[in-house]
Chains A and B, each alone.
Chain A
Amino acid sequence: MEPLFLEGSPKTPHVRFDPATGLLELKGRSIPENSIDFYKPLIDWIERYGRQACPKTALHVQLEYFNTSSSKCILDLFKRLESVRAAGNEVTVLWHYEADDEDMLEAGEDYSGIINIPFKMIQIAEVGGE
């Protein structure tokens, strides 16, 4: 299975999904006008990955901004991972948020309340701004 690598842009996150290690990364900002266009290939990838998943999968989410158009797509992505976990694999979401960004921490807590995957909240130093 091919890895999925996408460069970040001013409105879309950097993506690095590696099927060999089970390490998946979503990093940057996710504020496109049409999020379904952007997320569909990611969600399809995870569905294919689920058929031959690594015993351990870790998804790192480190977003500075995401819009409401992205929020449902991100939930969908988590749901596909939920199926990977339900098939007997270990799956973790590592939700990174900047120290001052309580809103982003809350958003992670909201997802973790909806999705049946263990979430780890990871506080990081501020990366935005300057």
Chain B
Amino acid sequence: MADLLDRVHDLYDELEKHRVMLSFKGGLSPELITVLLGLIERKLDGIEPDARARKRVFNVVVECLQNLFHHNGHLRASTEGVERTDEPHGVVMIARTDKGYSVLTGNFMRGSDVSQLKSHLDRINSLDAEALREWYRAKLSDGQYSQVGGGGLGMIDIARRSGGKLEYAFVPYDKDNAFFSLNVNVNT
């Protein structure tokens, strides 16, 4: 009991130390994403005086949460390794940093999809702002749609608004699955 109560204080300290604005782990639905976005928008209104920075951070959060929702292995960690979930499942944390904001997301994905996503992210990281804009324009007008409409624009848009490099890691989990973590720094 005392142990558990100590952990609450540790959790508070941890969240305070890392200047966490929002942290969530669990199943995601469009309704829940609406709620999370409402929360983060309110917090940004309170702490970020620069409207352009506010918009950039909000846009990155929208794209990151929707990536988490759409590109998701529908798996969660369990004592047996991983288990299937009905809803997309993942973790998100949004924190302030010395230079701006950090948007962290994580989810399980199929191991066989890792190399394709990795090369997409590496290509994005190799391009400067002007080249990213050109690539975005070319992809926007290529007439190809994903099932929900985005057609591969999400990560490019995130990188453009971040203004920095995308930080990512893939941790192999079991023979079929990997855990994908992404950190997007939005410098203001």
Contacts and interface: CB of A to CB of B under 8 A. Distances in A.
Interface of A: 10-11, 31-36, 39, 64-65, 67-73, 75, 98, 100-103, 106, 110, 113-114, 126, 128-130
B154 interface: yes
A15 to B, nearest CB: 17
Given A10-B34, A65-B59, A102 B66 contact: no
Contacts of A114: 137, 140-141
A103 to B, nearest CB: 7
A69 B152 CA distance: 9
B51 A69 contact: no
A27 B40 CA distance: 22
Given A101-B55, A110-B137, A129-B54, A68 B157 contact: yes
**Chain B interface category by residue count:** 35 or more
A-B pairs with the 8 shortest C-beta distances?
A68-B153, A35-B149, A69-B149, A69-B150, A68-B150, A114-B141, A36-B149, A34-B148
A36 B45 contact: no
16 contacts: A33-B70, A35-B149, A36-B149, A65-B58, A67-B62, A69-B150, A72-B153, A100-B50, A101-B51, A103-B55, A110-B133, A110-B136, A110-B140, A113-B137, A129-B54, A130-B45
A34 to B, nearest CB: 5
Contact of A33 (B33, B51, B54): B33
Given A72-B149, A72-B151, 17 more contacts: A11-B30, A33-B33, A34-B149, A35-B150, A65-B59, A68-B150, A68-B156, A69-B149, A71-B140, A72-B145, A73-B149, A75-B140, A103-B59, A110-B133, A114-B137, A128-B54, A129-B54
Interface string B143-166: 001011111011011000100000
Contacts of B141: 75, 114
Given A69-B149, A129-B45, A102 B52 contact: yes
B55 A65 contact: yes
A72 B51 contact: no
B52 A67 contact: no
A43 B78 CA distance: 45
B69 interface: yes
